[in-house]
Structures are given as C-alpha cells and as structure tokens.
Chain A
C-alpha cells in the first residue's frame, strides 16, 4: 500500500513540475507550483502514516503555510506584471538574456 500512496504523491509532484515548465500563463504556472508542493506534502503525510510518527503531519502544517505565503507573493508579482505589460505571459518577459 505504501507504494500506491507514494505513486500518487509523486505523480502529483511530477504533473505540477511539468505544468510549471510548459505553460506560458503565469497564473497556471503558479497553480502547478502549488500542486507540486501539495504533492510533496502528501508524501510527508504518507511517510508519517507508514512510520507511525505524528511529526510528519506537523511538518505538513509548516509546508502549507509556506505554500500559501508563496502564492500570495506570486500573485503580487502577477499583479505587477499585469500592471506593467498588461500581460501575464512569462515569455513576454525575456529582455534579460545572454
């Protein structure tokens, strides 16, 4: 049973990662990052259940808090991007290169 749960959490993680890499819309990227961390959090919970030690869940608490604050800052950046170039497409922002 451990493998099954781990499969789910790893799957969620990988989907989040892929989403962050391929999507152009900053908000979708934000959501997939959120999904990534959620998948990793699930791994924590799975581990805490199978090793029978509560601290995994306590750690999930902190991870969730951090994820939330990250999303907040991400949205602040999204707002700035929108105000600046009226678009949240990350490929419009490539002036810094080489």
Chain B
C-alpha cells in the first residue's frame, strides 16, 4: 500500500538520472556549476527520501510506498518497488552519504569533473534501485547496473594501477552475480512448477518457499554472489585493491553502500526464500564470519597503507554483521542491520578523513605521517571520533551494533559470541596503532608542515556524520523501532522449513504454457 499515493520511490531512484542528463548539458568548462548542480540534485534526493522515514508505518511488516506497473507481462515481470523496515535505512544511508561523498570531491577531482559527476549520479540510481526493487529481475538489473558507474569511477579517476583494480573488482562481482542469474531463472521455473504461476514478485516468492531438496543449489548460488559483495572472508581479495585505487568519493560509496548490498541480499533472498537450507548453512557461515572478523583484524594490523587498513577493517566489521544475521535471532538481525548502517557511517567517514589528508599530502602510507595532532587539531579530533566509533567504544554507534550482534549470536550460538567478543580487542589494536602513528608522535616529515586544517566545506560534510555517530550511540531507538515488525516477520519466514506443496515433488515443466496463456498473473 502506498501511503503517500505519490510514486515517491520512483522519484528518488530516477531523480539522479534526470540530474545526470542536466549535468551532461552543462559545458564541461564550467566545473563549479557542474559541482553545484550535482550537489543540489543529490541533496534534493536526500530531502525527498526523508518523508519515507516520517510516514513509515512501523507497525506492519508489509511493503510500503509500493508501486507496481506491468513491465514484461508475458513473462510475469513488473516494475515493482517498495520498502520495509530492512531496506528503509539502507535507502536513507545511500541518499545521506552520496551528497557528502560528492561534496568531498570538490577539490579532489579536478580533471574530467563533468564525467565524474554524471557517473556518480548514475551510481546513485543503481544503488537505490537495488534497495527498493521487489521484482527479482528488476533487482538483478539494478544489481548489475550499479557495477558500471563504480567500474568507471575506479578505472578513470583511480590511483596508479587502477585498471587492474577495477577489472578485478568488476570481474569478481560479475562472476558471482552471474551464478545468481542462473539461480534466479531456476527459481522462476521451479516456483512455477509448484505454484503454477510465473512471477518475479519477491513477496510471493518469499511467502511460497520451495521444497527443501531443491533449495540447496539455489542457496549456494545466491550466497556466492552476496558473499563476494559483502565481502565475506574467502571472497574479499578484491576489496583492498578496489579501495586503494578508488578516488575518495568512490571509496566512501563503495564502503558505505555497495558492501551493504551483499548483506541486504542475504536478508532478502537467502533467509526468507531458502529457509530450510539457511538452517543447514548457519554453522558454516558463522565460522566464516568469525574467520572474517579475526582475519580482517590481523591483516589490517600490518598494512602500511591507511586505505588498505580501513578496507580490511570493513571485512572485519561486516563479519560481525553476517555473524548477527545468521544467528537467526531478532536481536541478531536488528544488530546486523544496525552494524551495516554504522559501518556505512564510520568507515565512510574514515575514508573521507583519509581523502582529506590524501588531497593535501598525496600519500597514503602511514610511515610518512606523524604528529598531525599538533599541526591540524580539529582534523585529529574528528579522526579520533571516527576511530572510536569504528572500535565500537560505548556511546558511539559502533557499540550499539556490535553489542546487539554479540547478544543476538549469544542467544542461539553461545560459543561463537564468546569468540566474537574478543574480536573487538583486535579492532582496537589495528585502529589505535594506525591512529597513534598518524596523529600522535612528532611531525618528522617536512612536507607535513604545509597541512591546513578543515575548510568550511569539510566542516559541512563532517559534522552530520559526527551527529549520527552520537545520535545512534546515545538514542538508537529512533532507528530500531522502525525495524521490529519487518525483522520479526523475517524470523517467522525463516522458520517455515517443511514445505510440501500438493505436487509429488516431481518437477515438471510444460513448455508451451507461456505462449498460450497471454494474460500471465504478475
């Protein structure tokens, strides 16, 4: 049901595309005009997305702000948008982070600014599309589409060996999601075999799960695609490359939002649709997430390059999120969503910080820094706040997410929670050693002397992030209250495991049916 009776989701998703067209008309010489127009469009997008939060009815788990238009009716595809408790905050995170990321590029990106801003706007559309689409085909289209702008962003405005990084990034994710495509098709036909209806509608697919023996390969294919995106432990090697080579705005969005698509995918596909298989895979995924937490922390400790360090830290943070999710408890999943949002804010902010310093110093390895506290005090204070939030010091947003994840996991798997509790320790180790070597100690490197502190623009995009760090830290209820209904419903769905529809399990496809029945139910 669409409370606002106004296609708000479509406007949010396609406003950036209009913006991109607008920007493409501006002459590429007028860079400030381009930057202003893009920023205003993205800001507008954020303002338009605010009513989603206020009009959101947190009592029901039904999809809200729904828009459904038949797209390819002959195969049961509809242009079907909608959000619920789970995807609400991811949409808000996207619309919130993008204007900030754009603002950070005003001095960072100097050549080909017009193309950059167009790519950034298209990326925004791609990401929003993933979070709001409820038709799995539409989901897949947006899922792949957002790869292109990110690919171009890393490839064109990236660091020295950006081509290798961007190719690895694109191919790795594309390879994973291509298996998801086959699984999607199999799901489409298997669902028809059992429920005699050709549909891509996520909600119906969730409510009518398949018999357990069929779910095995589907689960693995979807899990592979999402694990690469999260990135879970063995599939993470593209992340450091992509982060090191991406421009600041690219890293912010990559860490802030793109990684969340993996976890969101698990929440939308693997948990509800393949519930019985989820239960069998819980232990394996928990172990992998644990490895991810500790592995990410250990390898982050020894990184010479700040960006790589923060990249491996996201592997560790998202390990927590996956841990909470596959504990299959309400608090665990809510904690996992909170962890996603917190990781978006704190790691996004850390990348902005690194970006600010990189813009002035053009180097990222830690050994060249030192003693920033005495040179740029305000920068160091902000840097400290975000370090604390990423170490999950209570009072900041990190703690809320981590504690809920730990408790959620504790409820179902005590041993894993206890091991994970020690993860926070290693997070402190790598973040603080890096923080010490960059901010404390004496400023030995002469080049550091010409560092300038925050200018007005940097203030503007840093303050909201700090506000959210403490707002979630101190009063997380505003966010958690919106999630309860949807998360509880998701837990109910993961409980339906023994499904035996009327058919005797023998899968039969009748080939000719698509053509004869022209009016397919969407």
Q: Do chains A and B touch in the complex (CB under 8 A)?
A: no
